[in-house]
Amino acid sequence: MLIINNRIIPLGKSYIAINLFGVIFAKEYLNDVLLHHEKIHTAQQKELLFLGFYIIYIIEWGIRLCIYRNLHKAYMNISFEQEAYCNQRKKDYLKKRSHFAWIRYIKGK
């Protein structure tokens, strides 16, 4: 997994890292938990052939933004993020993870 440390990407002050097509752009050092979070996103992206992941992610974020009317709450309730946050501390999660596991998180909080 390629990690590119930089000061620009991701945009915004509250984000530390972004995973684009399996390449992680990070503004600061990623601890084991954050790295595992991004590895979960890589698994999600691969199973949706990357482009499918981004299409679903943007659509779901837009829907959740309409529901919650709050950028952060919309982001936190995206099914991909829910799966990653709920399992980022489980070191063996990716070994046991079933394909399309993010679907069970669609209902949000």
Domain segments of the chain: what residues? 31-105
Which sign, positive or negative, has the C-alpha torsion 99, 101, 104, 106? Answer: negative
Q: Tokens at residue 76, please?
A: 């936190």
State the Cα angle at 32 between 29 and 77, rounded to 5°.
95
Indicate whether 100 pLDDT > 80: yes
Tens of pLDDT, residue by residue over 57-96, are 999 999 999 999 999 999 999 999 999 999 999 999 999 9
Residues 49-53 have a mean pLDDT of 98
Indicate whether 108 pLDDT > 80: no
Q: Against a cut of 0.75, is the pTM above it? A: yes
Average pLDDT, the chain: 95
Starting at the edge strand found earlier in the chain, the sheet holding 2-5 runs 2-5, 23-26, 17-20
Taking CB atoms within 8 Å and a gap of at least 24, the contacts of 22-26 are 22/46, 22/50
